[in-house]
Amino acid sequence: MKNIFGFLSIGLAVLLNSCNKRDLDVNISSVKLPLNFYNLDSIEFNTENAAFLKSQILKGDYRHDEIISYQFNYCLSVGRVSDDSTFHHLKMFTGDPYFQRVNKAVQQQLYPNLPKYNSQISDGFKRLKYHNSGFKFPESVIYINSAFSSSVFSTEHEIGVSLERYLSDSVKVIQELPADPFYDWVKKKFNRKFLVRDVLLGWITTHIVSVDNGNLAEKMIQHGKALYLLKAALPKEKDALILRYDDVQYRWARENEWNFWDFLVKQKLLYTTNERDQSNFLNDGPYTMGLPETGPDRMGQFLGLQMIISYLDEHPKTTLKELIKLPYTEIIKEYKVE
């Protein structure tokens, strides 16, 4: 794609948090939502005997078939849960010197914060339930080691969270990862401050708001809806964190919001169904392809959120349930760049 996007700071005094007319910080003291938390990562690395490990994983509360199958088959490639040999292969993984050091770093840096993360995740889902008890909610959150395969994985009833992907890129075991496919921009995204955000958004985009179908404008607004639900779940967080940006990236996005909109309109890209163009504007990367490298990635998601905020500023009584069902054409026609 030809880069004709002109970088032009419009000189606005941009706040690091979007101004909204809605107060999303609701009282959830009466909201009930059973949510269990399990540390499968700890069980696997701290159980020496393979037979005993199998009994621990498959007994009672620890029987999370989809998460275990995902970890064993896809992430670790150690075999099926039903095979005895699988647990011997698993012990080979947990006994690997490199992953022993990864586990030590996770224990030191993340384990002490798990009670806080558990509380924040639980409260986030309670806020969503406050807004709409009809949303689908998880039953369990399971902490795992995916050997850096993915950060968050949602099944029908559970969420798997790969703790090793929330170690800082300054940690030695992260710096040791191969440069391909773990480019510097990928490692920089390994940050514990995004753990709660990723867990909630992963569930939202799997079970509440689909972000998979349509033209670019439709997909941007789908992402915007999902991100706005995330704002409702985490009302005290900055929009920078909601978007997985740092403050500098968020400021750049806000200062260039009109430029990006104008670029999409002039290039007739708003309604494109070209998968490459959509990927450039919506997917993770070092920056948004086709735009200046000084800007952040996923500018399409950013713009989608601004469209939702703009619509809700004009229609403040819209509920989250109503928002999800709104056609993207209704939202885009209300969009105003401030």
Span 70-128, pLDDT tens digits: 999 999 999 988 788 999 999 999 999 999 999 999 999 999 999 999 999 999 999 99
Which comes out higher in pLDDT, residue 185 or 17? 185
Token pair in block for residue 325: 């069902």
For the full predicted model, state whether its pTM sits above 0.95.
no
Q: What distance in Å separates the CA atoms of residue 294 and residue 238, rounded to the nearest whole number?
A: 21
- Residue 60's pLDDT is what? 57
- Residue 319's pLDDT is what? 95
Contact 145, 162 (CB under 8 A): yes
Contact 20, 112 (CB under 8 A): no
Q: Which residues contact 176 (CB under 8 A, 6 or more apart)?
A: 98
Q: Is the pLDDT of residue 4 over 90?
A: no
Q: Across the strands, what pairs with 80? A: none
- Residue 18's pLDDT is what? 42
Cα–Cα separations (whole angstroms), residue 92 to 16, 50, 78, 79, 210 = 47, 10, 9, 12, 38
Looking at every residue in the chain, the average pLDDT score rounds to 91
Contact 70, 154 (CB under 8 A): no
- Residue 336's pLDDT is what? 86
DSSP-assigned states of every residue in 255-310: HTHHHHHHHHHHTT-TT---HHHHHHHHS-SSS-TTS-TTSPS-HHHHHHHHHHHH
Share of the chain above pLDDT 70, in %: 92
Q: How many of the other CB atoms lie within 10 Å of CB of 230?
A: 26
**Coil, strand or helix: which one is 180?**
coil
Per-residue pLDDT band at 64 (split at 50, 70, 90)? low
Q: Across the strands, what pairs with 36? A: 140
Q: Which of 267, 125, 257, 244 has its CA nearest to residue 186?
A: 244
DSSP annotation of 71: I
Contact 323, 225 (CB under 8 A): yes
Q: What distance in Å separates the CA atoms of residue 75 and residue 88, rounded to the nearest whole number?
A: 16
Q: What distance in Å separates the CA atoms of residue 287 and residue 290, rounded to the nearest whole number?
A: 9
- Residue 63's pLDDT is what? 54
- Residue 5's pLDDT is what? 52
- The amino acid sitting at 289 is M
The residue-averaged pLDDT of 283-306 equals 97
> Tokens 């959120």, residue?
305
- Residue 10's pLDDT is what? 41
Using only C-alpha atoms, the chain has a radius of gyration, in whole angstroms, of 21
Which comes out higher in pLDDT, residue 14 or 190? 190
Q: Which residues contact 112 (CB under 8 A, 6 or more apart)?
A: none
pLDDT digit string (tens) for 147-202? 999 999 999 999 999 999 999 999 999 999 999 999 999 999 999 999 999 999 99
Per-residue pLDDT band at 23 (split at 50, 70, 90)? confident
Token pair in block for residue 279: 């990927």
The residue-averaged pLDDT of 313-328 equals 96
How many residues in total does the chain contain?
Answer: 338
Per-residue pLDDT band at 19 (split at 50, 70, 90)? very low
